[in-house]
Structure 1
Amino acid sequence: MKFFLLFLIIFPACEIGLFLFSAKSIGVLPTVLLIILTGFLGAALAKKQGIEIYHKVQRDLQYGKMPGDAMLDGLCIFVGGMLLLLPGFLSDMIGLLLLLPLTRNRLKPFLSRRLKKMSEGRRIKIIK
């Protein structure tokens, strides 16, 4: 809980610092336009990949496979899309890492272990 409270203070402060740096470097209007552009591009990318994952989950279920990997992809795409919709450069970078298949595939083993650890600690419940 302490980590979460610290995160709620540090993350927005970093975002504000990056806004100020960007506004000073490239100007206020380009900074605002860049924030709006990343929001639109993030929404479009998340929608495209979300539809692909939805079809993959359907195929897996149709063939009697558990869609665990596809569900983790879907979670990453959802969180990445939400982060890209938030105004901020740091959230955009993290969101992009979760949306791009190359980086998402490298993050999935870590996320999978983390979710498993949380389920073993009874902080979340995974129904099999």
Structure 2
Amino acid sequence: MEDRILCAGVPSCPAGLHLRVHVYQSNNRPALSLICADDFMPYVDLTSNLPGQQLADDEVFVAAWNVPDDVLAALLETDLFVPVRTLVTGFARGPVWKIQSAELLDWIADARADAAADASASA
């Protein structure tokens, strides 16, 4: 998954994007970001953390205001995600996507395990 190029050929990033997975320290939710495939520079944070909102372990709140529409559409075409609802909270309004890729869910589980190990080591 890490080396897979997503969204190749979209106008806002013709070379495509790599998906990077981390977890938010406060609640271990998936923190997804996109990296440019041609120069490996950060492109955009795909998700935003809303600690006060209920999300399933396989759901993410998408920072749609921060991501070009062509990239959002291309990401949905990958079948990694499916939109399930829209969340409105405070000043934030955006889609909640369900992660439907077993490979991506495994990668998130690994990131959670790494975060737990790091927390134990620093305690």
Is TM > 0.5 for Structure 1 vs Structure 2? Answer: no
TM-score range (shorter-chain normalised) is: under 0.3
Q: Higher Cα Rg: structure 1 or 2?
A: 1
Q: TM-score, normalised by structure 2?
A: 0.28
